[in-house]
Amino acid sequence: MSVTNIVKNIKQIHPEYIALIKIGKFYYSYGKDAYIISYIFNYKIKKVEENVCVCAFPVSVTKKVLAKLEENKINYLLIDRRNNYDVDEKSDNKNLNKYDIFFEKAKKYINLKNRIDNIYDYLISNMENEKELIKQIENLINERRKI
């Protein structure tokens, strides 16, 4: 059974928890959880099998990540793949959990960031051909600046 299938099973039981799966020297988060981790810590998101998003961070920063999740009142599960995906640690904020609030913020932020990145990539790859477009963008930005 693949990790993504196991995560789907875990998320059916704990839908409003960030599931952090320890694989080797990294913790991985998938799907909605990856969006939240990426949003809070500015970590990169990658697409893996079946267009599932994944975000990872080294085990060495686990304390920092957990402290920030607790500070923001976001439930989490620490799961180790070597222990047959048993839960090693759990944080439950009961009805103070802000998982859904942070997911909505993260989804908006990451979708907007992806659009900006696509524009950036287009401009870089067409730098010589789109000088006029770049000038128009600069003018638009300058018009919107406060004096």
DSSP 8-state assignment for residue 145: S
The whole-angstrom separation of Cα 136 and Cα 119 is: 14
DSSP 8-state assignment for residue 126: T
Which of the listed CATH numbers 3.40.630.30, 3.40.50.300, 3.40.1170.10, 3.40.640.10 matches domain 1-147?
3.40.1170.10
What residue ranges do the domains of the chain occupy?
1-147
Nearest Cα to 22, choosing from 7, 11, 9? 7
Angle at 25 between CA 20 and CA 30, to 5 degrees: 30
- In residues, how long is the chain? 147
Sheet containing 76-80: order of strands: 46-48, 52-58, 26-30, 18-23, 76-80, 86-91
Tens-of-pLDDT digits for all 147 residues of the chain? 688 889 999 999 999 999 999 999 999 999 999 999 999 999 999 988 778 899 999 999 999 999 999 999 999 999 999 988 889 999 999 999 999 999 999 999 999 999 999 999 999 999 888 889 999 999 999 998 866
pTM: 0.87
